[in-house]
Amino acid sequence: MPFAAQHLKAGRLHLMKSDPTMKKIIKLVGPFTARTKPDRFGALVDAIVGQQISITAAATIKGRLLEHVDNGKGRYCLERLLEQEVESLREVGVSRQKATYILDLADKVRSEAVDLKKIGRRDNEAVIEELTQVKGVGVWTAQMFLIFSLGRLDVFPVDDLGIKNGIQKFYGLDDRPTVEQMREIGEPWAPYESMASWYLWQGLAVE
């Protein structure tokens, strides 16, 4: 589901009132402009394709893959993906390892081991547990899905390097923060940790 405007307004006010440093970051960055991606299957395929490669390279491979298995509406077709072999995906630029991950995802979506129709009804931990059954989908990828596909505002990806760097920079730490430090700093953000995380990412890009 998309981010609701009233929730974003409430979240922004909450963050600015509860944390003076976050207030400065918000003023630096400006409005919260993140958008959700309603195509849940596509979001997961894209997340796998984009792992550990540049944004430009990922965009090129996603375009080739989409052309190869398009459903006619600009989205990946599950049925066409299930007809593929690892080698046919490699021909459009997907690595062998990622091809096995994508095919495993498609298989689990077909069997409803990963039920993308109902997954939005589950709490965050249950979503993470369900998605991490898929080869190549770890906790971080599941957290990005929670934020940018399901529109959850209370997700804090404490293992994300950008968030670590943002906290170190804006909160004046000599070293990258530990998970314990991050949780302590982020405690006032609840229940809008996703928004705070986005502002940290954007703050690094602005400065």
Q: Which residues are catalytic?
A: 160
β-pair partners for 70: 76
Q: Measured at the alpha carbon of residue 10, what is the angle toward residues 121 and 187, in degrees to the nearest 5? A: 80
How far is residue 40's CA from residue 117's CA, in Å, rounded to a whole number?
A: 9
The C-alpha atoms of residue 19 and residue 33 are separated, in whole angstroms, by: 20
- The string of DSSP letters for 75-142 reads SB-HHHHHT--HHHHHTTT--HHHHHHHHHHHHHHHHTSS-TTTGGGS-HHHHHHHHTTSTT--HHHH
